[in-house]
A and B are shown apart, each in its own frame.
Chain A
């Protein structure tokens, strides 16, 4: 009846939760659950991606282990969620990327860095790698080459992720038209950008114990907004280049450098905080098999931020060549592995929030709900 044992366990939990409902005020998962009486695989995948893993329902549950009902919603939802990433992966031949994900991502990252070093050495006098270039990256790699390589990697990631989105949306059984509802999209954007459901119903995450803290949300904000600022920095630099004809390197007070610096700091503080939170997390809540995927993604983001900042500080020294290889290698690996790692959590969770925004309106207008 269910595709996996994990989905069968999620069905058991949701059926029990649906006969209790004490947690319905904690987040979006439980009100969405109450709209259903039976849980198909698509429903469970939707609910799992709606779950932000705040842990509150585990500590609030009178039936969590050691109780014989053994209810561990955050952990099982994390497992279902991770399985769903692999199930939606495009092309499906790459689904195994999600197994031992941490190892594979690190290998790809190391190979990318090595390729950039080797490329620079092959194309130039090896001494150029260690020379001083006054912050001019294009001496090592022409701008157009950079655009082609990274444009292709990014385009591939986008295509693969759009196909994943299609798979998710079909699997949860939601009509395509929901994605064109402005109201639902806007609500989901607000819920995602504030991490509304990562707060245990108002007091914060219950990460290492039942004492709530807001640390994970705070560090996730550093990470997410840091990433977005870095993205904005690169986009603006591209506009400078093509629209204004303004070539890098830019001065420290120029917009691309300012945004990149602030973003880079966010990408260092955020992932470090999230890694610490992960280390402190109650082992009962952790999906051990997938811990590598989470850690790999955080480390990749941290490496992106840290190498970017190092490059900025040391761009006038002879370390620039190596640092540039390192930074470009990491960013390249981040792009090509995006559809096959933890990055996709943001996409599926956002989509789940879009559907929930629609369902919430139905709940509030009394169109839905069981007896």
Chain B
């Protein structure tokens, strides 16, 4: 039970993977720990609830990983997805530490399984949680509870007392009323600000109103903002966020994995004016899905429609909502509220431009268009076999990149260049240190676990001294 009158050694703000790894690691160092989770118990864990795997380096195949994944290869992958926008020292340290994480996290009760059906491409590099992210969280919470970590739900931090880079105490809003809690050291693992539409609007303008949030509604960036005001150095681009195109019928928050659509490469994508706006077949889907959120965000009203025909219906993973179905393109346009003439025209032009080829959805094939302003360079087939199908899509924000700068101890750096006396950060709130832009599957969890473990250990040491 959380005791708000007590002075804890370590205060952890947040309740996801990074927060729990920090809490467990601090408790294992002998510290008394209080975890403040803003969400109610069911929604605890932020975006970790929606994750399914983590990317860790390993020298050899295991029961659940199909082959080795060296530190060097991991680093190369990171360099490629970020375009070099990473702190190399910190990234190399994280990748090195990720090796041990495969054992450490299992010792905390987390279980792995071989890669899920439909994700074979990740079977060598990524370790999948048995039962998914919420199962992983449940295991971490049980371990934390067994170690005596105090956990308070619906406990939102609304104020931070920081003096010259030293944390003193936090003001907490709870259903029972406000409380003030003091601690020897602070770990913030409270996520990004993707659920804060007003903040998103500052960077994206009114378009942000039409964004859907794939994960938790509790990542409002309150603590991130307060840390900035307290003089902590910020890192990352506030206009950068990870966004994919998800089903427009998804709920505004927490739609998670099942709202994703893997069918862009099999059809064409048009905006509300029935115009195509990007090469749907540029590259294999795992390498391209992450650009489509931003592409759709750039279209009028931030909406687009993936259109395909009967020949592609079963080539991709099912998703939560059925496609909108019609016997003709004109009927489909009617159901989508699009101009039927315009859609028919785009369709005819596209079909006329498709060149003969050998369709193979498992690799970059030779099916392409020729003569369009925007070509489709692979998997281009005529869309002509009724029934026709469409999915409406909107930008779905996964997470934001803006965060606080940290050093090798996961200790926050102040804007004046000095390390904070007793403040640490882990997870999405500091992901920008290694992930300046781009994304590689499972790396968010690596950042959370590795820096969470370090932050907890260092915070415990810090509180003791």
Contact = CB atoms under 8 A, between A and B. Distances in A.
Interface of A: 15-16, 18-26, 31, 34, 37, 56-57, 59-64, 66-69, 201-203, 210-211, 369-371
A62 B49 contact: yes
A70 to B, nearest CB: 12
A20 B257 contact: yes
Given A62-B256, A210-B142, A22 B132 contact: yes
A24 B116 contact: yes
Nearest to A30: B117
A59 B42 contact: no
23 contacts: A15-B318, A19-B257, A19-B320, A20-B256, A22-B52, A22-B132, A22-B135, A24-B116, A25-B113, A25-B128, A34-B117, A56-B135, A59-B134, A59-B135, A60-B131, A60-B135, A69-B258, A203-B111, A371-B118, A371-B314, A371-B315, A371-B316, A371-B317
A26 B130 contact: yes
A201 B130 contact: yes
Contacts of B131: 22-23, 25-26, 56-57, 60, 201
B251 interface: yes
Nearest to A66: B42
B191 to A, nearest CB: 16
A99 B320 CA distance: 34
A22 B134 CA distance: 9
Given A202-B111, A203-B111, A24 B258 contact: no
Which of A22, A31, A56, A59 is most buried by chain B, counting CB atoms within 10 A of its CB?
A22
B133 interface: yes
Interface string B41-79: 010000001101000000000000000000000000000
Given A22-B132, A369-B117, 9 more contacts: A20-B256, A24-B113, A34-B117, A37-B314, A59-B135, A60-B138, A62-B256, A63-B258, A201-B113
A62 B254 contact: yes
B138 to A, nearest CB: 5
Contact of A62 (B50, B116, B117, B128): B50
A21 B130 CA distance: 10
A18 B130 contact: no
A19 B317 contact: yes
A20 B214 CA distance: 14
B319 interface: yes
Interface string B105-131: 000000101101110000000001111
Given A62-B49, A62-B50, A66-B42, A19 B258 contact: yes
Nearest to B116: A21
A282 to B, nearest CB: 13
A25 B315 CA distance: 23
* Those 5 A-B pairs whose CB atoms lie nearest each other, nearest first: A22-B132, A25-B113, A60-B131, A60-B135, A19-B258
Nearest to B112: A25
Nearest to B113: A25
Contacts of B42: 64, 66-67
B118 A63 contact: no
A234 to B, nearest CB: 43
Which of A59, A67, A211 is most buried by chain B, counting CB atoms within 10 A of its CB?
A67
Contacts of B318: 15, 18-19, 37, 370
Interface in B251-299: 251, 254, 256-258
A49 B184 CA distance: 54
B129 to A, nearest CB: 8
Given A22-B131, A60-B131, A211 B142 contact: yes
B254 A370 contact: no
A69 B314 CA distance: 24
B134 A19 contact: no
A22 B133 contact: yes
Nearest to A12: B320
Contact of B138 (A20, A23, A210): A210
Nearest to A23: B131
Given A19-B258, A20-B258, A202 B116 contact: no
B252 to A, nearest CB: 10
Contacts of A211: 142
B123 to A, nearest CB: 14
A201 to B, nearest CB: 5
Contacts of B142: 210-211
A26 B315 CA distance: 26
Given A26-B131, A56-B131, A60-B132, A16 B315 contact: no
Contacts of B138: 59-60, 210
